[in-house]
A and B are shown apart, each in its own frame.
Chain A
Amino acid sequence: MSTTSHVVRVSWSAAAALVVASVVTLAAFGWPFFATPTGLGEGASHSTDAPWIFVLVLPLLAAIVLAEVNAGGLDAKAVALLGMLAAVGGALRALSPGAAGLEPSFAVIMLGGRVFGRGFGFVQGALTLFVGALLTGGVGPWLPFQMIAAGWVGFLSGCLPRRLTGWPEVVVLSGLGFVLGLAYGALMNLWFWPFGAYGAGLSYDATAGPATNLESYARYYLATSLAWDLSRGVCTLLLVLLVGRPLLRALRRVSRLAAFEVPVRFEAPELERQETV
């Protein structure tokens, strides 16, 4: 049995939707570093962007799932599993909604992505954050950013080489968990960073160039969110190290029992006989 199955197959249409959704989100995160300096006032124009992206991204995400369904890649088994893992992750978020950077749901998303493949990982990550937000009342303009970013966490975990097994697999996964824990925080700051004033050299300046803004952001990141993100990274790393092996084994057993990638074939009877029905 392979270490990663492809429970949600990323077909061409789905891949296209995924790429568009990711690009839009990246743009939404990264515009401060690409935008040419303008003389216009304090990023006021962008304050209306977030809801706009929210409106845009969610249908895109839905489009991904729908594209999968149409391609026949998302059967009842995958829906059940997706629902269960997203609920577990969401409940974990409700227990500890990112307080002090502790984010146990990340480990679940990563392990799910690793076992059931990148397409599944993406949808699981996004749904986990969505369910968590519903449970904690954390629905807001930040939600689509979180959903896509968590989707990437699941997607990247599903992209690790298949031949990794045993302890090396868990170690690599936990290492990736640490990196993703940091990166997730660095990205998530960006959705609000341009709109606030944090003092000289820390804030977004619409009139300055991308390089200056990048530098300001780096300073802002080190000064404010690094501690939180470090604890998220470390938490994910330790959790994956601690529960990774038994959970991977349990999820793989589910994967095997549900026979996700087993082809379904029908063959005609050896002798075609007279129909009497």
Chain B
Amino acid sequence: MIRFDDVSVTYDGAAVPAIAHVDLHVPEGELVLVMGRTGSGKSTLLRSVNGLVPHFSGGTLRGRVLVDGRDTATHPPRELADVVGFVGQDPVSGFVTDNVEDELAYGMESLGLPPATMRKRVEETLDLLGLADLRGRPLANLSSGQQQRVAIGSVLTTHPRVLVLDEPTSALDPLAAEDVLSTLQRLVHDLGMTVVLAEHRLERVVQHADRVVWLPGDAEPLVEGDPADVLARTPIAPPVVELGRAAGWSPLPLTVRDARRRSTELRDRLAGVHPPEHVAPALGAPVAEAKDLVAGYGKRVVVDGVTATVRRGEIVALMGRNGAGKSTLLKCLVGIHRPRSGRVEVGRVGLVPQVPADILYAATVADECATSDKERRLPHGTTVACFDRLAPGVPGDRHPRDLSEGQRLTLALAVVLAPEPELVLLDEPTRGLDYDAKRRLVGVLTGLARAGHGVVLATHDVELVAELATRVIVLADGQVVADGSAPDVVVSSPAFAPQVAKVMAPQRWLTAHDVEAAL
């Protein structure tokens, strides 16, 4: 269906090719997962499939890309539109119309299909993607997961034979990402479409992939093969695979179920070993205290009588479903939302918001850092030094919006960290981060806690919590329903348990790293 013959792509002005000597053959009906860190050439590979590279991006494509027998050199993207459907990261930036039905029909209209066919296909697609209840709704009022489902639907209506998705969940919050990935899984199983998917959230998709293509980056040759084989060699892998590696299982398990069935012996071996406690090595003085905090919007009470203390050296994870009051609590702590009653006492505090670009205004990274120094009356170069420590090698003349998600988060973090606040708050910091960036974030936050800062992060990312948190607070309806050490709170919870905990239960292991250290 898709065939790459010795394909190299070099962008204009680039010294090295973005992808080099790619030979790839994707037969019909296969789900291929493309993995690799940011900048490894995933997007280039995906965009070559429908000719956006190089027709839209410019640059030189050496070799040949054939899709359904059509050569992309002679067929520009518009002539491949009936074969390849392409879905990008941010659904909102791709929408053309205002409501769900119109958006679904737009692609067909562009291809000049008769109205009767369009009507029929819109109905089919609404049912297929579970959008029937939303048919007349304005796109702007949908949740981000629903928006991405509409974006997928709008390319499905043209009945493409290949669906290409470039990190369809990286601009979404974790719950919306789940929503999209489960939809995708249904599509693959029910329709047997050929799907090429780039995705960071491997733990959710790797079990459905027929094949994995790993781009190591730096123009190294790509690795492709059976998921379990490829994942045995990659530096990035879902926790359950890492556990399999630590335990030396072969082939590697791809799902919690696989691993659970194989882990009896491992659990026996570790029965006498005490898992690490995941508590802060040294607790300092309190940096934030909330007492009977009540806050809300209009008549709605969002935070309902929260009492909590955060100490120096602690990393507190704030968990709970959307709307449970996590963000509002953070806003109260940082002082941008006024509580209705109760008391908040905090020292110097900084918040990295959910969309890091919200606190980045300048036209270049260097400007952003200089402005940050000036506004906080810091010695010139403080912020830029902080940024270089967190993410070395980002050119200063880059526009903040042109950075990768991870780099942008790091820049926002640098701006917040430069004045050395006693308490750092992060709202959903891992959205759109690849494993590398996440690992670096874990390192940075652990370092901060060790240096005596208090850290609070609101997140849905259970694996991050497992790795990082020394304390977990679960909010529901604005009230604290659980507050304790990470193993105490998450191990028994079906919603918040990390993959490794699910495999090892009832033993209280949280990460593959812990298991590896114990073996």
Contact = CB atoms under 8 A, between A and B. Distances in A.
Interface of A: 76-77, 246, 249, 253, 257, 259, 261-271, 273, 277
B74 to A, nearest CB: 9
B55 interface: yes
A266 B61 contact: yes
A260 B66 CA distance: 25
B12 interface: yes
B12 A270 contact: no
Interface of B: 3, 5-6, 11-12, 54-64, 66, 69, 73, 78, 363, 399, 402
A77 B61 contact: no
Contacts of A270: 6, 62
A23 to B, nearest CB: 36
Most chain A CB within a 10 A radius of its CB, from B55, B56, B69, B78: B56
A259 B3 contact: no
Interface SS of B by simple majority: mixed
A265 B3 CA distance: 19
Contacts of A268: 62-64
Contact of A264 (B3, B54, B63, B78): B54
10 contacts: A246-B363, A257-B402, A261-B58, A264-B54, A265-B54, A266-B73, A268-B63, A268-B64, A273-B5, A277-B69
A277 B73 contact: no
A263 B59 CA distance: 6
A137 B12 CA distance: 45
A253 B5 contact: no
A77 B58 contact: no
A265 B60 contact: yes
For the complex of A and B, 7 pairs with smallest distance between CB atoms: A262-B58, A259-B58, A266-B73, A267-B62, A262-B12, A265-B60, A269-B6
A262 B63 contact: no
B3 A269 contact: no
Contact of B5 (A262, A265, A269): A269
B61 A265 contact: yes
A269 B5 CA distance: 7
Given A257-B402, A271-B6, A264 B59 contact: yes
A74 to B, nearest CB: 14
Contacts of A249: 363
Given A271-B6, A273-B5, A277-B3, A263 B62 contact: no
A269 B69 CA distance: 17
Contacts of A269: 5-6, 62-64
B361 to A, nearest CB: 11
A273 B7 CA distance: 13
Given A249-B363, A259-B12, A277-B3, A267 B61 contact: yes
Contacts of B11: 262
Given A264-B59, A265-B60, A266-B61, 15 more contacts: A76-B78, A77-B56, A249-B363, A253-B402, A262-B11, A264-B54, A265-B54, A265-B61, A266-B62, A267-B62, A267-B63, A268-B64, A269-B62, A269-B63, A273-B6
Nearest to A271: B6
Nearest to B363: A249
A267 to B, nearest CB: 4
B65 to A, nearest CB: 10
Nearest to A257: B402
B61 A253 contact: no
